[in-house]
Amino acid sequence: MTNAPRKPDSLMHRLDRLWQRWPVYAPTVRARLGQYALLMRWDRPIGALLLLWPMLWALWLAGNGRPNAGVVAVFVSGVWVMRSAGCVINDYLDRHVDAFVERTRDRPLAAGRVLPQEALALFGLLMGVALVLALLSNRITLLLAFGGAFLAATYPLMKRYTHLPQVYLGAAFGWAVPMAWAGQTGQFPPPLAWLVFLTAVVPFSSQFVGS
């Protein structure tokens, strides 16, 4: 007598078993998410604010004091996502150095609490979210977004090959200005937008602000 083939579990049955095991997995999941949050510097929001204010200036100027609420929501979200992505790629590229620097040795990657593969996957996820946000805007903003992504991803390398990494960092932080202007008006940023951009770059030219 042959045994009948085992009927595969239904999707609902599998979900029910996963839900029953969730109390076992929850502490581990929370711990991993906590390390990812530290890697993205969510415990230090000052960097996001440094990105946020110039972008908001641009939106208010471009919108004559009344920017579109949807555009504001997209760009505020984009600022937070891109700052997080910049922190992740910065720590990934500096992971072999940070372990020997007192200020950075306890960062998740340098301390070994997050694997390099995890950091790259997180960076890819954040950049994917940023792309989706850019696609919600117009073509000019999307084209400028690629420039912003390039600045954010290559800034860590500038610390090795140039003597003015803070100027490059200022450009990365201020790039949200022309993007926001284009997002609000649908047109290429005018000279006033680039003047606001320069006001975001200048403070970084006088002193280094760590990411």
164-176: pLDDT as tens digits: 788 888 898 899 9
**Phi-psi region for residue 65, left (φ > 0), alpha (ψ -120 to 50) or beta?**
left
Structure-model confidence comparison of residues 205 and 40, the more confident one: 40
181: which 2 tokens?
């202007």
Does 6 reside within a domain? Answer: no
Residue 7 lies in a domain: no
Quote the domain boundaries for residue 86: 17-206
d(CA 173, CA 152): 8
**Mean pLDDT of the region 128-138:** 94
pLDDT tier for residue 210 given thresholds of 50, 70 and 90: very low
Residue 9 falls inside a structural domain: no
Query: Is 5 among the domain residues?
Result: no
Cα separation, 144 vs 183, whole angstroms:
10
Decide which of 128 and 168 is more confident: 128
Indicate whether 189 belongs to any domain.
yes
Q: Is 65 exposed, middle or buried (0-12, 13-18, 19+ CB in 10 A)?
A: exposed
pLDDT at 158 over 50: yes
Does some domain include residue 73?
A: yes
Is the predicted pLDDT of residue 22 greater than 80, yes or no?
Answer: no
Residue 211 lies in a domain: no
- Structural domain count, the chain: 1
* Tens-place pLDDT, residues 35-72: 999 999 998 988 888 889 999 999 999 999 999 999 99
State the CATH number of the domain containing residue 162: 1.10.357.140
Please check whether residue 4 lies inside any domain of the structure. no
